[in-house]
Chains A and B, each alone.
Chain A
Amino acid sequence: MNYWPLLGVASVVIGFVLRLNPVFVVVVAGIVSGLAAGMGIGDLLAMLGNAFVGNRALLLMVMTLPVIGLLEHCGLRERARDWIAGFRGLTLTRFLTSYLALRQILSMLGLTNVAGHAQTVRPLVAPMSQAAAERSTGPLAATARHEVDAMAAATDNIGLFFGEDVFIALGAVLLIQGFYAQHGIELEPLAIALWALPTAIAAFVIHALRLVHFQRRLERRARASTGTDREPAC
């Protein structure tokens, strides 16, 4: 067993601890790991190039940027805020919990690329979350606004991750089935997918409860600061 390729993992850890540029860290780690495995420069470059091309689907989100950029230039985020602010009885918790449920259900149907950070979170969900939060807290301070944005992104992630495993014909389930099939264990994809349901439900309950807690904390902090001096909006 050649343990030297583990140096690649070590370079990743060291690079992140030193807070070096992640792209640089990843490229160096790849080269270190290849050299440690005894590859020549030619093989190493070819392997990097082929793997890079093979994974290009991950950059498809860039296709959404012209649409989102243009709409934002014309006030999409402002409009999203105003629209949500007009709903009575809509709170941050209710809004994000509904989005969580929608995202989980869509992912369970295999529609993972329908929503996402570039497609929906930045242009719609984040500004709407801010507007919904401000209904109960008043204008948000800068730190609170960033926390609401981050929670909107986190909610999207959790909805995606713990929904997609329930879908039969996509990535995760096929990977699991394929692994067992290679080792002589035949399983129905549905049998694997159904066992993702308990975790999906647990994820929804846990995160929904955290959203309740999150809104209460924002409200407490807003009350505490109105006593002293109020920070200006925006």
Chain B
Amino acid sequence: MLKLTHVYALLGAFLLYAALLNLRQRRWSMAGFWAILAGPFLFGDAVLAASAAGLRWPAQAMGLGVVGLGVMAARGRLGTTAEDAATLEARRASAQRLGNRLFGPALAIPLVTLALVLAGPWLRWGERLLVDAHQSTLTALGLACVVAFVAALRVTRAGLATGLGEGRRLLDALGWAALLPMLLATLGSVFATTGVGDAITALVGAVIPTDNALACLVAFALGMVLFTVIMGNAFAAFPVLMAGIGLPLLVQQHGAAPAILGSIGMLTGYCGTLLTPMAANFNIVPAVLLELPDQYGVIRAQWPTALMLLAVNFGLMWWLVL
């Protein structure tokens, strides 16, 4: 049975390969960066199992790795290498030659993912499922990437080394931006463990007039947006704001409808996600991927939509909830 663990192992191997190529070119910090990052993918399950069994050093070593990544990122720089006219011309010629066949492998990633997710429950090898039902979308995505890579090698008649080398070129171009989403989620867990949420809730509770329903709703909506902007993730903001304002004040004291408050409250947080560099995988990574000169280019393109939607969400909550 194919599990997410197998996909992780493959991803870890690719990161190690990227580290090795950088090592050969004496780009030490890049090599160290990808080598450390390969750790959670190659040994992740072992680390979690050891922690659960009370053995602490593997997790601590991983923590030390995180600190190392932070230090290396602070010293390194992002940079895409400029392309000369010859490569540009070669790409044009190859695009002419291969034509629409180039779309096949690119579209195979979404389509194979989709097919595997939908057909997953029926794909069996004897008695066992071919794709693990747990987190099947992510496993399917990993599998689809492998299928698409093989297809891409066939269509372009490139060698394995060229293919992986091109992948490594993109990975190096992404640099620390590739790592940021994972680290921000880590910070979210750290904030939750250290009680940052409780502290903010206590502060908010001390400031707003709790017997005014509208004031509570304003505090809830703005709190969702603000906390999402700081944490980069509405999922992290939601439990904090619900426990602090939503449930005790709006639902229990002012009789708000819980389903509507929860649903639209979460979407109010999403408006904050569109505004913040902390949501790196949505706002910073694409800016790097698209080689925008401005790190905040994507946020600049979406903030008007976010603010208008925020107004709509607030209106909906005021009308439907109170």
Q: Please indicate whether A and B come from the same complex rather than being unrelated chains.
A: yes
A residues adjacent to B (C-beta < 8 A):
1-3, 5-6, 8-9, 12-13, 16, 20-24, 26-31, 33-34, 36-37, 39, 42, 44-76, 78-80, 82-83, 110-115, 117-124, 126, 146-147, 149-154, 156-158, 160-162, 165, 171-173, 175-177, 179-180, 183, 185, 187, 191-196, 198-199, 202-203, 206-207, 210
The contact string, 1 if C-beta is below 8 Å from chain A, for chain B 3-39, is: 0100110110011000000000000000000000100
What is the bound-complex CA distance between A171 and B269, given in angstroms? 14
Q: How far is the CA of A66 from the CA of B108 in the complex (A)?
A: 14
Using known A-B contacts A74-B158, A199-B312, determine if residue A50 contacts B59 with beta carbons closer than 8 Å.
yes
Across the interface, which residues of B come within 8 angstroms of A198, CB to CB?
264, 316
Contacts of A192 in B (CB 8 A): 259, 262-263
Q: A1-B202, A33-B194, A50-B51 are in contact. Are A196 and B263 (CB under 8 A)?
A: yes
A39 to B190, CA, bound (A): 11
A199 touches B267 (CB 8 A): yes
> Could you tell me the distance between the alpha carbons of A233 and B96 in the complex, rounded to whole angstroms?
19
A121-B198 in contact given A58-B281, A74-B156, A157-B298 (Cβ < 8 Å): no
How distant is the Cα of A187 from the Cα of B64 in the complex, in angstroms?
42
B59 with A70: CB separation less than 8 A: no
Known: A39-B194, A72-B170. 8 other contacts (CB 8 A): A5-B195, A8-B194, A30-B66, A31-B67, A53-B47, A59-B41, A69-B170, A73-B158
Contact residue among B14, B70, B171, B242 (Cβ-Cβ distance under 8 Å from A23): B70
Task: Establish whether residues B298 and A154, one from each chain, have CB atoms under 8 Å apart when the complex forms.
Answer: yes
Residues of A within 8 A of B149 (CB): 66-67, 70
In chain B, what residue has the closest Cβ to A142? B293
- Find B297's partner among A3, A150, A203 (CB 8 Å cutoff): A150
Contacting residues, chain B, for A76 (C-beta < 8 A): 95, 102-103, 106
**What 9 pairs between A and B have smallest CB-CB spacing?**
A75-B95, A27-B70, A66-B167, A49-B62, A45-B63, A69-B166, A23-B73, A49-B63, A154-B302
- Whether the pair A115, B193 counts as a contact (CB closer than 8 A) is no
Least distance between A125 CB and chain B CB atoms (Å): 10
**Which of chain B's residues 56-87 have a Cβ closer than 8 Å to chain A?**
56, 58-67, 69-71, 73-74
Q: Which residues of B contact A70 (CB under 8 A)?
A: 149, 152-153, 156, 158, 162-163, 166-167
State how many angstroms separate the Cβ of A108 from the closest Cβ of chain B.
13
Given B110, B179, B281, which contacts A119 in the complex, CB threshold below 8 Å? B110
The reply to whether B171 and A47 form a contact with Cβ atoms under 8 Å apart is no
A122 with B308: in contact, given A26-B187, A147-B301 (CB under 8 Å)? no
**Which one of A33, A79, A173, A210 contacts B100 once the chains associate, using CB atoms below 8 Å?**
A79
Beyond A114-B110, A154-B305, whether A122 also contacts B289 by CB under 8 A is: yes
- Assess whether A187 is in contact with B258, with CB atoms less than 8 Å apart: yes
Chain A residues whose C-beta falls within 8 Å of the C-beta of B130 in the assembled complex:
none
- Measured between alpha carbons, how far is A71 from B312 in the docked complex, in Å? 41
On chain A, the residues within 8 Å of B51 by CB distance are 46, 50
Task: For residue B147, give the distance in angstroms from its CB to the closest CB of chain A.
Answer: 9
Chain B residues with CB below 8 A from A207, complex form: 305
List, in ascending order, chain B residues with CB within 8 A of A5's CB.
Answer: 191, 194-196, 199
CB distance from B150 to the nearest CB of A (A): 9
Looking at B59, B93, B203, which has the most chain A CB atoms within 10 Å of its CB?
B59
In the complex, chain A residues whose CB is within 8 Å of the CB of B44: 53, 56
Known contacts A52-B40, A67-B149, A172-B235, A27 near B182 by CB under 8 Å:
no
Q: Does B204 contact A (CB under 8 A)?
A: no
Chain A proximity of B140: nearest CB distance (Å): 8
Could you mark each residue 253-282 of chain B with 1 if its beta carbon is under 8 Å from any beta carbon of chain A, else 0?
Answer: 000001110111011001001100110111
A191 near B64: Cβ-Cβ < 8 Å: no
B219 on interface, CB distance cutoff 8 Å: no
A26 to B297, CA, bound (A): 21
